[in-house]
A and B are shown apart, each in its own frame.
Chain A
Amino acid sequence: MKTLKVNGKSIDVDVDASTPLLWVIREQLGLTGTKYSCGVAQCGACTVHIDGKAVRSCVYPVSAVTDSNEITTIEGLSEDGDHPVQQAWQELDVPQCGYCQPGMMMAAASLLNENPNPSDADIDSSITNICRCGTFQRVRKGVHLAAKKS
């Protein structure tokens, strides 16, 4: 048994220590906004925050999460869906299929946590998520717009 702090709540989970955090979040906690896509930390669809920093949860064993770690998923990014990134994404109608977007938004929110006014070069180096629909142009605009709203 392990206690995780997810989206502000403490939750006990009974899971093998080697299980990646992604599958604990999706299958044990039922928070399916965090997506499986590659399973090898290439695409970023599984991105969540641990203490505000973006982590690719598909290769992050649950055993590496400590008692004090605060895990945030897309469901907990804001209470009412009004985080500046979510507002910007809605205003620019960023998603196409949308499957990568929870991870993309978590990566963007993490960047803005660390760097409230990122340059294009900052965006290029810190957001390396894959989007097969190709929303990158709007993602870039979305990060800049969210920076203005924050």
Chain B
Amino acid sequence: MSEQHTITRRGFIIGSSVVGAGLSIGLLPGCASTGGEPLPEIDEVNAWVHIGLDDSVTIRIARSEMGQGTLTGLAQLVAEELQCDWDKVTWEFPTPGENLARERVWGDYQTGGSVGLRGSQQYVREGGAAARLMLIQAAANEWGVPAEECTAKDSVISHNNSRKKTTFGKVAIAASQLEVPTDITLKDPSEWTIAGQSKMRLDTVDKLTGKLEYGADITMPGMLMASIKDCPVLGGSLVSYDEAAIADMPGVRKVVKVQTSLGTNGVAVVADSWWQANNALNKLPIEWDFGPVGQFNEAALTQLLESGLDAEEAFPGNWGGDLKSAFGSADRMVESVYKVPAQNHAPMEPMNATAVYTAEKCEVWCPTQNGEAALAAVSEASGLPIQQCDVYKTILGGGFGRRGIPDYVHQVVVIAKEFPGTPIKLQWSREEDQMHGFYHPTTMAKMRGSLDADGNLTGLHMRISGQSILAALLPHMLANGVDYATFQGVVRPGIHPALDQHQISYDFPNLLVDHAMRNPPIRPGFWRGVNVNQNAIYLECFMDELATEAGRDPLEFRLALMKNKPKGAAVLKAVAEKSGWGSDDGKSRGLAVLYAFGSYVAACAEVTVSDEGKLKIDRIVAATDCGTAVNPQQIEAQVEGSFVYGLSAALFQEITFDKGQVQETNFHNYSSMRIADMPEVETIIMPSGDFYGGVGEPTIGVAAPAVLNAIFAATGKRVTTLPLKDTNLRA
């Protein structure tokens, strides 16, 4: 079940196939092979499915697996339509190079934005269904009966009238030579027996014995190890280093200057073992030119962000009604300023990649969230045509958005070019990982709301001031200078197709959400949940402030503005009901609700704050309406984990700068939740059907505001600056 292959290991031949629909011409045993690998016993049925003579089922997975369970979910969707025996299912990752050679038959490899299932469910189900129809047709041909009279279930094909039976493995060769059907009807999810079930993950068993090979574990004969230091200040550069000072240290082979098109300007030490390489690197005298960012610090950052709070110019991202007159006729105004710091992804497995470069070929083994971007990076860094490059994806030891950017792939190729033919594994230290992140962007928000004499909210202005991810990483995606992604979770419907899955959760009578872009010299990136996280903190905490000022119940106050948002209201009511909201049991509770990544989520947190100000998060009830639930137990796992990721950030994590350098260099000063901090999470999965919403990210957004609102309920203290670690909750 858990055995992993790559197609290349089985001698798969690039370019042997009919492209487009993804059906390959039958490649019979013994035809040819690459690199002396064992010959394939039998060709694929189609791009998504390989059936072995022993009835084994290998499902091809293009998206990356980083813990979120996409691998298993996608396999369930294919297997559901294929009607194979789930116990015979294994999986493999087709390489990005194979995808390129086959005109992207496996579609997009990018694994971020919670698109793993929802972005590929249609075509992978069609792939599974096509393979089933071909297998049935092959059996029907053999029996001389109409395919319509045959059915498939659990990898067995039956002809109902004659009671003939055969298995997938017996007809797979014949099936692989048939034309791909185009008339495909997919099952309704109500008929599912494999998808929609709480299947155990396909990749668990090898994770329990140490057998699973992560990128960090890649081992090859003759391999050398590298450790790298990039200039500790963004935009700074390497001036010189004294190789002679470490040349005699044990195992040291070479010091390599590493400059890449993604901004690396540093130095790597290559040695026989990583411990030797890293030791020598730490002793290598290096002179840097820090450049202008060498003056940057927290005071400069705060000044920059604060300058946007009242700036006259700002990009609107959501608006409606007449805010000016609403504020002018207000009975009361409420105002609050919030701040969320920069944060690092800090996956457990620090960045790494392994490369073999020759003048003819460059291959890289690495954990990546975007295999195709990694492939392009290999080609660019090696200078070889992309057809002479390939990337072999491993399972990721965490990604959270960090591994969508292939900076470490560029680096390893630059190093490997100094050692043609020799495998080079580049392993970042934790310190390098902390200091060279693409950080969750830091923003502030000034929230202003108007209430009438009856405590109704009449107007809201949300001014976001701070960093734009797109301006730094994907400037071509700005729209006339506007980064609409900044408004994730609070965006106006219809403003951008991709952002309609992040619409604001309420109908405000008079509204303005705008963004004063203020870009500090910090590299921003896509951090699990992206801009949803800050925006949900701002809006959901401020909704509590408004409800308090209005003297109204925070649940009732919210629902009054959600009359046309039935799905959002439903998840909010669900958590309120299950948590015991409104009961007089003395518990301190806080709510948050959000629509993001196409899913409706809500949370109710229960906390205790001791007289000394010590916080304990006792319990969280969370609800998710992701439309269609492909694997409920894995959705639960994602929801539980989202609270750890979101609350670790809210409680402990900030990346700060002094003299342009990151100050939080390891887990001792960039802490993360431990098991003792973990509340009991009760997950309500309430799929309302007819759509596929994301699961890995939306719940992060409600984690922090639900807890912050519960802290207010417990203490009357409103926390507006994160992380919480520096706030005395009883002062």
Contacts and interface: CB of A to CB of B under 8 A. Distances in A.
Contacts of A65: none
B675 interface: yes
B350 A37 contact: yes
Contacts of A43: 348, 667, 672
Contacts of B719: none
Interface stretch (B106-114, B198-206, B256-264, B518-526): B198-206
A132 to B, nearest CB: 5
B212 interface: yes
Contacts of B486: none
B234 interface: no
Contacts of B644: 131-134, 136
Nearest to A93: B200
B297 interface: no
Given A20-B275, A125-B676, A81 B645 contact: no
Nearest to B427: A36
A105 B205 CA distance: 13
Chain B binding site: helix, strand, loop or mixed by DSSP?
Answer: loop
A90 to B, nearest CB: 6
B636 to A, nearest CB: 9
Interface string B619-659: 00000000000000110010011111100100000000000
B397 A101 contact: no
Given A97-B397, A132-B347, A133-B398, A23 B675 contact: no
Interface in A94-150: 94-102, 105, 123-125, 127-140
Contacts of A102: 210
Contact of A31 (B207, B210, B674): B210
Contacts of B205: 81, 90
Nearest to B668: A42
B210 A75 contact: yes
Nearest to A80: B209
Interface in A38-60: 38-40, 42-43, 45
A27 B396 CA distance: 20
Identify which of A39, A77, A123 gathers the most chain B CB atoms within 10 Å of its CB: A39
A90 B201 CA distance: 9
Contacts of B214: 35, 99
B398 A99 contact: yes
A26 to B, nearest CB: 8
Contact of A93 (B637, B643, B668): B637
Interface in B178-222: 200-201, 203-205, 207-214, 216-217, 219
Contacts of B348: 35, 37, 43, 45, 97, 99-100, 130-133
Interface string A55-94: 0000000000000000001110100010000100110011
B641 A135 contact: yes
A128 B219 contact: no
B430 A40 contact: yes
A136 B645 CA distance: 11
B275 A137 contact: no
B708 interface: no
B645 A97 contact: no
B602 interface: no
B201 A93 contact: yes
A19 B250 CA distance: 12
Given A99-B349, A130-B674, A75 B209 contact: yes
A73 B68 CA distance: 26
Contact of A32 (B200, B217, B429, B675): B217
A150 B85 CA distance: 33
B675 A33 contact: no
Contacts of A129: 674-675
Interface in B646-705: 648, 666-668, 672-676, 678, 680-681
A77 B634 CA distance: 27
A12 interface: no
A30 interface: yes
A77 to B, nearest CB: 8
B694 to A, nearest CB: 16
B677 to A, nearest CB: 8
Interface of A: 16, 19-20, 23, 26-28, 30-40, 42-43, 45, 73-75, 77, 81, 86, 89-90, 93-102, 105, 123-125, 127-140
6 contacts: A16-B250, A33-B210, A96-B641, A128-B676, A132-B347, A134-B678
Given A98-B207, A136-B678, 7 more contacts: A38-B430, A42-B666, A45-B348, A89-B208, A97-B347, A99-B347, A133-B641
